[in-house]
Amino acid sequence: MVNPETVLDDAEHSSVYVLKPVFDVSNPFPSLPPIHSRDIECQVFTHRSYHARPNHVFEDHPKDPSPDNEKFEHLGDAVLCLVVTKILMENYPLLHVGPSTKLRSLVVGNATLANISCKYGLHQRLRLHAAQEVTLRASLNIQADVFESYVGGLYCDQGLLAAETWLKALFIPYVKDAYHHVRAQHGLPPASLLDNDLPAPADTGKGVGRITDVEGNGSTRGHLALFNQLMNKKKLDVEWVYTTEVGGGTVTTPIWNSRAEVEGEVYGRGTGRTKKAARNEAAKEGLKKLGIDL
């Protein structure tokens, strides 16, 4: 019999961080929900080595579907990722996608799943080829795979709600452990030191997510890039003609006028405190000429 602590010991010798949430009387380890269908349950615990079928087959014959658990494992992986992602969004709604992805990878990694699998004794119920049984049963990857297979089997047997109810109770402590670990990796203080202690961000008046023209005309600056992109795609050369506005601005900061000409035809005109700002305004008119009104 493989002890869950042995799986932890093996994982700890690698570079993978091993999650060790605390389960006790107040937070018990959830019991394993039974799979009611005997056929599904049998297939969930059947490793492909048991029937020694060829691996490199594109598709099974309709009258001879594969009896192993790989399809349930594939499905279980998707269900598990869905539920863990939902846990992350519900418990850490402000977490960005990058750290969230790292957290999820840690939670659904083989080291975590193998440890859970051994706690439930799922690996002991596997049907394996006799010649490979000892090696496969002790494999961290196989132990993780059979857990995913069980998740997929439960989903097929009872639907998403049953699988999600079990997985949430099981994985919320693992997600919390992973959150604190990844947070520390980013050099951040414990979450308990933050929360309401931090002052609210100052209101700059610029609005969230708005790109402003730091060169002074207050408009967005994306028009120029798009205009140039379209001109390059059409293989047309743009000639930019500049003049300074008489009586405009100051000696050190004149007002620039820009004109975008394509094969002698004026596509747009613009004004700004810098040449680039003026070009952007001219590009905005140029986009309208091309039928793109932003």
Which residues are catalytic, by number?
77, 148
Please give the structure tokens belonging to residue 39. Answer: 């056929």
For residue 58, the one-letter residue type is F
Phi-psi region of 165 (alpha: psi -120 to 50; beta: other; left: phi over 0): alpha
Element (H, E) at 238: strand 238-249
State residue 177 phi and psi, 5-degree precision.
-65, -45
Q: Using CA of residue 71, residue 77, residue 82, residue 83, what is the dihedral sign?
A: positive
At 152, phi and psi to the nearest 5? -65, -40
CB 142 within 8 A of CB 47: yes
Nearest to 104 by CA among 11, 179, 8: 179
Judge whether 212 and 206 are in contact, CB under 8 Å.
Answer: yes
Decide: 106 and 181 in contact? Cβ < 8 Å: yes
The continuous run of DSSP H or E covering 255 comes out as strand 254-262
